[in-house]
Amino acid sequence: MNPVSSSATPRVTIVMPSYNHAGYVEQAIRSVLDQDYPDIELIVIDDCSTDGSQEIIAALQRELGFRYIQHEQNCGLNPTLMEGYRTGTGKYTTALASDDALLPGKLRKQVAYLEQTGKDGVYANGLKLWDDGRTEAIDLEPVARRFNDGTMRDYAYVNDVQAPLFQSGLFLRTAILDLFPIVPGTSPTTGSF
């Protein structure tokens, strides 16, 4: 991880809310820090896990050097995500659940697309990984047909109830702050997805 972001490699903030995923959290963290992208800010926020997750995260934090926030009271998913988005410093941001993982090259490819197009966000198809080793494709093409360029924000805010767009996406931080007005005085952005 690079402590200083440059315009050639804008910083990417990954917000990882964690709650009782002791069997998966190490893989999730390593999948972020093993990306072939040079400027990653990982913020792991544990929301009072009771299954040993906190000890695993703390040991990995000492080894790998990411930011670790440990809640003293359970806050729930949305406040935890808001905290991460608010404290992140990246030009781009996304959330990754502590029982999910990033495929190799994801951040590099998505940042390149956003930098080339000037869009506020990009999402991708993905895979469901089952404990027995099976995989199942996640095809978001049917979702993509529901909006045109510039309308993803409105669609996502109202209809993305299971969050497939956010789970696979990478977004301009200001666009996320526009969607979830969590910082006082933040004004809406006018870009397009």
Mean residue pLDDT across the chain: 81
Q: Give the residue ranges of DSSP H helices in 67-139.
A: 77-87, 106-117
Between 144 and 26, whose confidence is greater? 26
Q: What is the pLDDT of residue 63?
A: 97
Q: How many Cα neighbours within 13 Å face the side chain of 19?
A: 13
Judge whether 27 and 102 are in contact, CB under 8 Å: no
Check pLDDT > 80 for residue 160: no
What are residue 75's phi and psi, to 5 degrees?
Answer: -105, -20
Check pLDDT > 60 for residue 106: yes
> Using CA of residue 159, residue 189, residue 69, residue 1, what is the dihedral sign?
positive
Check pLDDT > 70 for residue 70: yes
pLDDT > 90 fraction of the chain, expressed in percent and rounded: 53
Check pLDDT > 90 for residue 177: no
Mean of the pLDDT values across residues 77-89?
A: 91
Check pLDDT > 90 for residue 191: no
User: CA distances (Å), 88 to each of 62, 131, 180, in order?
Assistant: 20, 32, 14
Residue 56, helix vs strand vs coil: helix
What pTM does this model have?
0.80
Q: What is the pLDDT of residue 167?
A: 67
pLDDT-based confidence at residue 156 (cuts at 50, 70, 90): low
pLDDT-based confidence at residue 166 (cuts at 50, 70, 90): low
User: CA distances (Å), 143 to each of 10, 94, 127, in order?
Assistant: 28, 19, 16
Q: What is the pLDDT of residue 185?
A: 35
Q: What is the pLDDT of residue 31?
A: 96
Between 52 and 145, whose confidence is greater? 52
Report the C-alpha gap between 115 and 178 in whole angstroms: 19
Q: Give the residue ranges of DSSP H helices in 24-179.
A: 25-33, 53-64, 77-87, 106-117, 141-144, 152-159, 164-168, 173-179
Check pLDDT > 50 for residue 187: no
